[in-house]
Structure 1
């Protein structure tokens, strides 16, 4: 029953994303069947590794739960924005670098969903997520990142407000990406085509953030 719900919800989520794009951008580009199949395999590998990485972090003594919750927030945000990034034709590497460079934004974006599901069982978390995820898809479609304004300066050139600088980029996706690309290479050697090409392709779409 749980797997059946996942399949049905996945189809409904795609339709919601389609409607949101048509309303917001008046266009929607659906990938070819070959690309869709390869992307589906790559996405499956990626999310399996995300779940495994979050679980391994949870086992770290003392700080494991906090680290696992942190990456879960980011994974939730990534999953919500994935339809938008597929529409923009971003490769997996472009998506991961984008989240790492804007980690504070995506941390806050995924925080409510992670808070509602992180401490539940798998079945209960899946049910709650199925209820809130359509709204997240719409929010991700409409979201726009804005540049941070620099603090004001006084006449002497001294900053009026002293701010604590956060890291510009946190490579938290590195273990997941390394494992995913390694598995994609193994699949290519076994005769599964296009997976590595889809994941590695550069389309130079970073300027099309809407």
Structure 2
């Protein structure tokens, strides 16, 4: 769907019916286990970071709300960026470069979910998130070339540094744990095969 929306924006026509869209192999759309795990870790770390920021006395709720707004905006735009072939690092750098835009884009979504209980927040998220995905798919995050009066001289602010650090730590722990688990499974497999030979 994101691919068709992007093509519709670029060319003004959709190739949904002209292409072989419905007969493509299913495995082209299935993410790998590693990519799924990486996304799971990323969004888990986003939640952890927002909750840690909320616990800071006096300014924690404001910082948590701002980080939640940026994460909500990132999540809304991610479908478009994946279709464009952007890596996760490219996406994070882009958010840091245009932090004010993404903060503003995510504030309404955070207002609907941040201050509610988990159950109510989940219900509001399920109701509003598709709307934000549609807005993100047609949004332009940089001014057009004709808008010379608006100069974007934003400096890249590493607001996602904590998130990157948490991701790096979590993925390195998973990698070390996975290697040890893999070695144990291989040893057990070798023992099983040796037992069959003897």
**Per the shorter chain, which TM-score range?**
0.7 to 0.9
The answer to whether structure 1 residue 141 and structure 2 residue 137 are counterparts is yes
Q: How far apart in 1 are the matches of 2:15 and 2:33?
A: 22
> Which of residues 33, 40, 44 in structure 1 aligns to 2:40?
44
> Which of residues 56, 75, 78 in structure 2 aligns to 1:79?
75
Aligned length: 166
Higher relative contact order (CA 8 A, sep 6+): 1
Structure 2's unaligned 5+ residue stretches are 183-198
> Which of residues 33, 58, 61 in structure 2 aligns to 1:62?
58
Q: How far apart in 1 are the matches of 2:56 and 2:82?
A: 34
Greater helix share, 1 or 2? 2
User: Match for residue 158 of structure 2?
Assistant: 171
> Alpha carbon RMSD of aligned pairs, Å?
3.0
Q: How far apart in 1 are the matches of 2:44 and 2:175?
A: 18
**What is the TM-score of this pair, normalised by structure 1?**
0.68
**What is the TM-score of this pair, normalised by structure 2?**
0.72
Bigger Rg, which one: 2
CA spacing shift, 1:21–1:150, aligned 2, 3 Å:
closer
Instruction: Please tell me whether the aligned partners of residues 80 and 133 of structure 1 are also in contact (alpha carbons under 8 angstroms).
Output: yes
Instruction: Please tell me whether the aligned partners of residues 21 and 27 of structure 1 are also in contact (alpha carbons under 8 angstroms).
Output: no
CA spacing shift, 1:58–1:34, aligned 2, 3 Å:
same
Instruction: Please tell me whether the aligned partners of residues 45 and 163 of structure 2 are also in contact (alpha carbons under 8 angstroms).
Output: yes
User: Match for residue 188 of structure 1?
Assistant: 175
